[in-house]
Amino acid sequence: MNKYLWVSVWAVLSLGACSHIKPVVKLAPDYRQPQVAVPETFRYDTPEQGEGIQAASLGWQDYFADPRLHALIELALKNNTDLRTAALNVEQVRAQYAIARTAEVPNLGANGSATRRGNDYGAASNYSIGLGVSNFELDLWGRVRNASDAALQQYFATAAAKDAAHLSLIAAVAKAHFNEIYADASLKLAERVLAGRQETYRLTRLKHKAGVVSAIPLREQEALIEAAKNNLATAAKGREQARNALALLIAQPLPANLPKPLALDKQYKIKQLPAGLSSQLLLNRPDIRAAEYQLRQANANIGVARAALFPTIGLTGSIGLASGQLGQLLQGNGKNWSFGGVVSVPIFDWGRNRANIEAVKIAQEKTVVAYEAAVRAAFRDVSDALVARAALQSQYQSNIAQRNAHNERLRLVKLRYKHGAASSLDLLDGERSSHNAESGVLATQLSLLENMADLYKALGGGLKRHTRDDAPTTEAPPPTAVDKGQPLGKPLQLKRNRKNVAE
């Protein structure tokens, strides 16, 4: 090749280096984390009972104790349609980011042509092949780079949203599992109540035959037996509905080989999960991270909108070979090259570009509001879970004492009734009180277990399968942007006395 062709080759290939030139002016605003007034610690926390434990670093297998629940969570993480949709959303945005990045480097294309023209004096053929770059934009104002960064932040936000869906699924499966055990315990309680009333009816009928009691207590016992049968049918329905809810979460029928569930009071390995400092919550909650990534994306979009006010410079270049005969095309006798540029300057757009800037600024302000709302909602979630935990623990202890008292009273009433010292009304009242106390214990126990699952989720727990570093994991590693230096889940800190909106 002659020196002109070498110059054209260098010009085309050097276009790729233009993507690394810093913009002439910085049009995207600097990111400033919004100021949100939050307390440093949470009320009703119990850090002295769980120092060094953070929910986000505590694997769900190390928090939940029931092997049956472990198996259900594994199935849900594999099959749940909502989580699969969230994962596909991440992959879709990843592809969109890859598309956006291609604008930072020249797109090299190959072309070839064959033509034959003629007139009254004869005909001629022309053949050509070449490589070329078409309208590569010099990113002097950072438009392309900001658009790429906006796509990257959207990718991070989508990945964080997938993490939030993951946490929600863990908590939902745990609560559905607790409801299944509760429904099964309620069914067994209903069976015991029915058996007890049938035994009482047998004794009442014997007394009626002996003339000790009238037919009125007998009819009362018959009505109570039918009421117990109705409660039994309701409990059976509740158990089946609880199993249906689990089947929906794991997206398949419940396997027959699942381990037997543990009792309600043996579902957790850690009874008192500490909330820790408020700043840790900002690190661990994926919904807060997603809101911050969206704010960074809004900042980059402002840079894109502002760049539209400035001229756009596009470069084109090509090199190739041409010949009048196809057989001599690759011999290099006919070389051609071209290099040029196009400048586009906005003059009259009737305020469209400035209106677009105003629109993206408003969108940024909305993301600030969304970030503040996410932080406040997160703190409310944790605060509500902590206060509920304290109240439910106290309520549960009271229910236990109340149940024991009513059961002992019922035992004594049954002895008195058997020997004719108590009436059927005394027995009826004792059975009803004992049954209500047993039901109250189960209901409070279920609420306490659900509260512990909600607190684990609210603190950002559930992404890890194990705490131990050498344990297997079911989760893929978080995505990172190596060239951007912004890994997903980068530390966030509470910043005070700073403006809420980037300027």
What's the pLDDT tens digit per position in 383-394?
A: 999 999 999 999
Q: In what order do the strands lie in the sheet with 312-323?
A: 108-119, 122-137, 312-323, 335-344
pLDDT higher than threshold 90 for residue 104 = no
Half-sphere exposure of 246 (CA within 13 A, CB side): 27
Structure tokens at 199: 């035994």
Q: Could you tell me which residues are beta bridge partners of residue 312? A: 344
**Section 259-282 average pLDDT:** 86
pLDDT higher than threshold 60 for residue 16 = no
Q: Which residue has the tokens 């309620």?
A: 186
Percent over 70 (pLDDT), the chain: 85
Q: Which of 41, 30, 47, 55 has its CA nearest to residue 494? A: 41
pLDDT at 471 (0 to 100): 44
Query: How would residue 490 be classed by pLDDT, with cut points 50, 70 and 90?
Result: very low
Average model confidence (pLDDT) across the chain = 81
pTM for this prediction:
0.80
Q: Give the ranges where 276-351 is alpha helix by DSSP (H).
A: 278-284, 286-307
Residues 54, 464: Cα–Cα separation, whole Å: 12
Q: Give the ranges where 80-142 is alpha helix by DSSP (H).
A: 81-101
Residue 491 or 239, more confident: 239
pLDDT at 18 (0 to 100): 54
Q: Give the single-character DSSP code of 268.
A: B
pLDDT tens track for 228-267: 899 899 999 999 999 999 999 999 999 999 999 999 999 9
**Section 362-366 average pLDDT:** 90
pLDDT higher than threshold 60 for residue 75 = yes
Q: Which residue has the tokens 């009048």?
A: 324
Q: Which of 154, 19, 161 has its CA nearest to residue 94? A: 154
Among the residue ranges 10-14, 46-50, 153-157, 264-268, the one predicted with the least confidence is 10-14
Query: How would residue 307 be classed by pLDDT, with cut points 50, 70 and 90?
Result: confident
Quickly list DSSP for 46-81: -GGGSTT--GGGS-HHHHB--HHHHHHHHHHHHH-H
| CA triple 469-474-476, angle to 5 deg | 90
Among the residue ranges 9-13, 159-163, 358-362, the one predicted with the least confidence is 9-13
Helix 424-458 with 215-250: angle, nearest 10 deg: 10
The one-letter amino acid at 9: V
Residue 84 or 140, more confident: 84
Q: Could you tell me which residues are beta bridge partners of residue 126? A: 115
**Section 424-448 average pLDDT:** 88
Query: How would residue 7 be classed by pLDDT, with cut points 50, 70 and 90?
Result: low
pLDDT tens track for 173-198: 999 999 999 999 999 999 988 888 88
Query: How would residue 38 be classed by pLDDT, with cut points 50, 70 and 90?
Result: confident
Q: Which residue has the tokens 């001229």?
A: 311
Q: Which CATH number fits domain 3-105+127-458: 1.20.1600.10, 1.10.10.10, 3.40.50.300, 1.10.3210.10?
A: 1.20.1600.10
pLDDT higher than threshold 50 for residue 435 = yes
pLDDT at 51 (0 to 100): 61
pLDDT at 483 (0 to 100): 36
pLDDT at 23 (0 to 100): 67
pLDDT at 495 (0 to 100): 37
Helix 424-458 with 352-418: angle, nearest 10 deg: 150
Among the residue ranges 8-22, 176-190, 359-373, the one predicted with the least confidence is 8-22
pLDDT higher than threshold 60 for residue 334 = yes
**How many other CB atoms sit within 10 Å of the CB of residue 111?**
12
Number of H helices, E strands in the chain: 10, 4
Helix 143-209 with 81-101: angle, nearest 10 deg: 180
Q: Which of 458, 454, 384, 461 has its CA nearest to residue 175? A: 454
pLDDT higher than threshold 90 for residue 168 = yes
For residue 1, give Cα distances in angstroms to 4, 12, 110.
Answer: 8, 16, 19
Query: How would residue 129 be classed by pLDDT, with cut points 50, 70 and 90?
Result: confident
Domain boundaries along the sequence of the chain:
3-105+127-458
Q: Which of 99, 106, 264 has its CA nearest to residue 182? A: 264
pLDDT higher than threshold 50 for residue 293 = yes
pLDDT higher than threshold 90 for residue 219 = no
Residues 110, 99: Cα–Cα separation, whole Å: 20
